[in-house]
Structure 1
Amino acid sequence: MRATILVTGADLAPQALALLGDFAIVYAGRAPTEEDLVQLCRKHDPVAIIVRYGSVGAAAMDAAPALQVISKHGSGTDSIDKVAAGARGIGVLAAAGANAAAVAEQALALLLACAKSVVALDARMHAGHWDKAVHKSLELGGRSIGVLGLGAIGRRFARLAGALGMRVLGYDPFAREIPDGVQVVDLETIWREADAISLHCPLTDETRGLLDAQTLARCRRGVIVINTARGALIDEGALLAAVRSGQVAMAGLDSFAVEPMVAGHPFRGEKNFILSPHIGGVTHEAYVNMGVGAAQNLLSVLRARGR
């Protein structure tokens, strides 16, 4: 009887499935709840879980005695209870860098959309207006951008921003590689000097609420805020107040504290917010890369443990 791999999603790239041909694959669907995962773990006792959607906590782990590894279909592992996994000897890995190009490009798209008023001008044009005589966009060349987090995505974004002629200020106390053209600084320098800030750091106890009322108040007035990382890096109430006051000129967001965004969320309808539904890493290429990376990671653990 083949061992089972549980995928917390409805599909996996064919290239990833080809690597997992020795296993039975069970899909949890596109919106699995914690109870869904617990029930599937009890029924199938998987040796590995590939996490696409939802969260994997201690209850699901305890429902799968054979579980050896939890592999993230992406770069962030905050949806996995790593403390519980460590206590149970379960490996946790991420497909680091697999979606770097896709997410960095989304961050650049949001930055450009904010600086060039793309969304607002498009709406005005469709409504029959011609605002050439009254509108001025922001030129990014020569301005400073703070890049918080210099992992695979942050480094890629930093190179894109540098190609626009921006002065790139980078902050990452754990960075192993600094791209050419990035000036490594402390957070206070970024708050003080950056004309735009782009978040690319993981969500941890230290980074939760990194942009809050206090830090936003220390930023340059009219700063642009871009977030394609994790929504909880930002105090959403503080950001809303900062945008409404003009302290933050525009916010381009691809991630939110609660996803999907709930009905009545205060960002909806705010003219100086450009929003996308956490799709930075959703490209065909990233889908394949993340699936293959997740499969390779779990196989490395299972083989090392003789499975």
Structure 2
Amino acid sequence: MTDKPVIIVTGADLAPEAQALLGDYDIVFAGKTPQSQDLVALARKHNPVGIIVRYGSVSAEVMDAAPGLKVISKHGTGTDTIDKAAAQARGIEVTAAAGANAAAVAEHALALMLACAKSVVPLDARMHAGHWDKATHKSLELHGLTVGLVGLGAIGRRFARMCDAIGMRVIGFDPFATDLPDYVEAVPLDRIWEDSDVISLQCPLTAENKDMVNAATLARCKPGVILVNTARGGLVDEAALLEAVRSGHVAAAGLDSFAQEPMTSPHIFQGQPGFVLSPHIGGVTSAAYVNMGVAAATNTIAVLNRVRQAAA
């Protein structure tokens, strides 16, 4: 360790390209699964000027352990793991790597939608078990169906373009979106539940939209709807979704995020037909890893430079 100011990374690694940008700082890695108490201890020891958030949560307690903290930079787009109110009260800026993993997450949403519509997982299992179900199986054709997007940021717009390319009608809800492409019809949230054959969540998690997919909203959906979630698990009431899939009202759910992560085991979705699950890796590609790291480092440096200039 040198006399350079410290930046804590709440993870075990950071892209070399990002580390190169942070040459004026000492980087301290918190490990693969840092807990709150670990981050508090590291903050007290190093008094970092910045924290780059990969895993775990940054609470007010962590911030109070680092009186020199100026910026908390998310290695990704979702900042729900950062206590933003506490940061604002302490004059700490919060940034996100907006759009850095958009291509990766949109592609994963497409993969989950296709896996659900085409029964990829159960057919694969049947084939490996020696069965040939051509005479009895029918998949769902997506061409001509309506996909409803909740969230029309960088990820949602990329996914919308993919859906348009395969001939789907695209509707979307996002109160903050402007200048939408002509193939996306902006609609009220009620229309998403009522009109969609596929619903895909690509919005941040907030106090207002927690459990937005619940028994009441699912009951308003078309029978046989497909749900895709590559956003945050807290958007979905998991018990209500399980019941809807079991009843057949929801034909299938492709999920990359869960209310508690890592997903608890045993979990109510495990072993259940109609669920395609992945461990929140939609944004985890080699390219996105570099893009998110570079964006997080760039955002961190920008804030610290601005703070330094203001103090000069």
TM superposition score normalised by structure 2: 0.98
Q: Secondary structure at the match of 1:141?
A: coil
Deviation at 1:176, TM superposition (A): 2.9
Contact 1:13 1:287 in 2 (8 A): yes
Q: Secondary structure at the match of 1:137?
A: coil
Which residue does 1:173 correspond to in 2? 175
What are structure 1's unaligned runs of at least 5 residues? none
Q: Secondary structure at the match of 1:29?
A: coil
- Deviation string 1:26-72 (CA, Å, 9 cap, x unpaired) is 00001000000000000000000000000000001000011000000
- Deviation string 1:223-267 (CA, Å, 9 cap, x unpaired) is 000000000100000000000111100000000000111111110
Paired amino acid for 2:145: R
Q: Distance in 2 between matches of 1:270 and 1:292?
A: 39
Which residue does 2:27 correspond to in 1? 25
Which residue does 1:269 correspond to in 2? 271
Asked if residue 197 in structure 1 is aligned to residue 199 in structure 2, the reply is: yes
Which residue does 1:217 correspond to in 2? 219
Asked if residue 157 in structure 1 is aligned to residue 186 in structure 2, the reply is: no
2:146 to 128, 135, 144: 144
Q: Distance in 2 between matches of 1:62 and 1:251?
A: 41
2:106 to 98, 104, 107: 104
Contact 1:158 1:179 in 2 (8 A): no
TM superposition score normalised by structure 1: 0.99
Deviation at 1:177, TM superposition (A): 3.5
- Deviation string 1:156-205 (CA, Å, 9 cap, x unpaired) is 10101111100001100111341230011111111111000000010001
Q: Distance in 1 between matches of 2:141 and 2:246?
A: 22
Q: Distance in 1 between matches of 2:179 and 2:34?
A: 37
Residues 68-83 of structure 1: matches in 2 within 5 Å? 68-83=70-85
Paired amino acid for 2:43: C
Paired amino acid for 1:93: T
Q: Distance in 1 between matches of 2:68 and 2:290?
A: 27
2:261 to 250, 259, 262: 259
Q: Secondary structure at the match of 1:300?
A: helix
Deviation at 1:221, TM superposition (A): 0.6
Which residue does 1:87 correspond to in 2? 89
Deviation at 1:206, TM superposition (A): 1.2
How many residue pairs are counted as aligned between the two chains? Answer: 307
Which residue does 1:39 correspond to in 2? 41
Q: Secondary structure at the match of 1:189?
A: helix
Which residue does 2:66 correspond to in 1? 64
- Deviation string 1:110-158 (CA, Å, 9 cap, x unpaired) is 0000000000100000000000000000000000000000011001101
Q: Distance in 2 between matches of 1:300 and 1:176?
A: 27
What are structure 2's unaligned runs of at least 5 residues? none
Which residue does 1:206 correspond to in 2? 208
Contact 1:71 1:92 in 2 (8 A): yes
2:243 to 241, 244, 257: 241
Which residue does 1:293 correspond to in 2? 295
Q: Distance in 2 between matches of 1:161 and 1:78?
A: 28
User: What value does the CA root-mean-square deviation take over the aligned residues?
Assistant: 0.7
Q: Distance in 1 between matches of 2:228 and 2:181?
A: 20
* Runs of 4+ residues over 4 Å off in structure 1: none
Q: Distance in 1 between matches of 2:257 and 2:206?
A: 15
Which residue does 1:14 correspond to in 2? 16
Q: Distance in 2 between matches of 1:241 and 1:177?
A: 38
